[in-house]
Structure 1
Amino acid sequence: MSEDEPRIVVGVDGSPGSRDALRWALRYAERCGGTVTALIAWAPPVLVEAAPVPPVISDEEVRTRAEQVLRRVVEETAAELATSVPVHQDAVCGPAAGSLLERARDADLLVVGSRGHGGFVGALLGSVSQHCVTHARCPVVVVRPAAR
């Protein structure tokens, strides 16, 4: 990777909105000769005392599942577009918005979907995308859902 290649960070969580964002980022990178970092953020399971207590999932299992989701979404989307854009995959432990902002600190562009896994249906802009738009040091593209 040369310093002249635009660096694009995209949030991926497996949702249709994040797949649209990855698709957009890959197409953009293809046109400008950039590289893409696809990031999924995961958090350790939170235990709340309630009866009955379900089996506990370990941090390692959560990390592994996040990496599997990321790998699958990147592979499927790259194959669908028949692109050879370099995609670096990054699974990080932490809140999605903060993790994206940290990774995009020195990026040329941050791409997010308008809604992911969370929030409520019908929100115009999800909390992660809103936080990124408000706090990112680089330009942010919020990809609206594709017509389905």
Structure 2
Amino acid sequence: MEIDSGVVVGLDTSASSLRALTVAAEEAERRNAVLHVVRAWSMRTAPRPADCPPNAIPSTEAFQREVERETAKLVADKLGDPPKVPVEIHVAHSPSPQALLSASRGADLLVVGHRGRGGFSGLMLGSVAEQCVRHAACPVLVVRPMV
């Protein structure tokens, strides 16, 4: 994925990532920058395409299209249509940390939620957020939940 400046945010449908999306859009507006929404997916996490027969396995391309469609809808629902800032959606069939770290190479700021869809509830940071804080090529903003 090719990103040349702007604010990058990781989105995975969790409440934490949707809050990160809102904060990232505000930051992009302050900076007069493009908001890059990065959604990584796997066969396990991708939404099933509605037009796929019940006993069939969707193709990678069908999953990719469905993830793109769902991500665009999440962005429009959360930020409005059209949003206040230019938005580019990047969908990657990749583990989340790799997709976000790759995007961070060209970003001015990476925004992530503090806990995503993982199952390790006792962690102070989610594993993806922790990897981003440790290895990103740009500053990282970890968005905590509303308290």
Q: TM-score if structure 2 supplies the norm length?
A: 0.82
Q: Could you tell me how far 1:29 is from its partner in structure 2?
A: 1.1
Give SS of 2:112's match: strand
83 and 61 in structure 1: CA distance in 2 versus 1, 3 angstrom threshold: closer
Please say which structure displays the higher CA radius of gyration: 1
Q: Could you tell me how far 1:78 is from its partner in structure 2?
A: 1.1
More divergent stretch after superposition (9-18 vs 121-130): 121-130
2:57 alignment counterpart:
56
Give SS of 1:112's match: strand
Give SS of 1:19's match: helix
More divergent stretch after superposition (13-22 vs 112-121): 112-121
1:51 alignment counterpart:
none
CA distance in 1, matches of 2:146, 2:64: 29
CA distance in 2, matches of 1:37, 1:130: 20
Supply the AA of the counterpart residue of 2:121.
V
The answer to whether structure 1 residue 103 and structure 2 residue 96 are counterparts is no
CA distance in 1, matches of 2:35, 2:29: 10
Give the aligned CA root-mean-square deviation in angstroms.
Answer: 2.1
Structure 1 residues 76-135: Cα deviation after superposition (integer angstroms, max 9, x where no partner)? 11129x842001001011110111110120211000001111232343211111000000
Give SS of 2:111's match: strand
Supply the AA of the counterpart residue of 1:41.
A
Give the alignment of 1:1-148 within 5 angstroms.
Answer: 7-44=6-43, 56-79=57-80, 83-147=83-147
Q: Which runs of 5+ in 2 are unaligned?
A: 45-54
CA distance in 2, matches of 1:75, 1:41: 18
Give SS of 2:98's match: helix
Count of residues in correspondence between the two structures: 134
Q: Could you tell me how far 1:24 is from its partner in structure 2?
A: 0.2
Supply the AA of the counterpart residue of 2:103.
R
Supply the AA of the counterpart residue of 1:71.
A
Q: Which runs of 5+ in 1 are unaligned?
A: 46-53
CA distance in 1, matches of 2:5, 2:26: 13
Q: Could you tell me how far 1:136 is from its partner in structure 2?
A: 0.5
Is the Cα–Cα contact under 8 Å of residues 13 and 69 in structure 1 kept in the other structure? no
Q: Could you tell me how far 1:66 is from its partner in structure 2?
A: 1.6
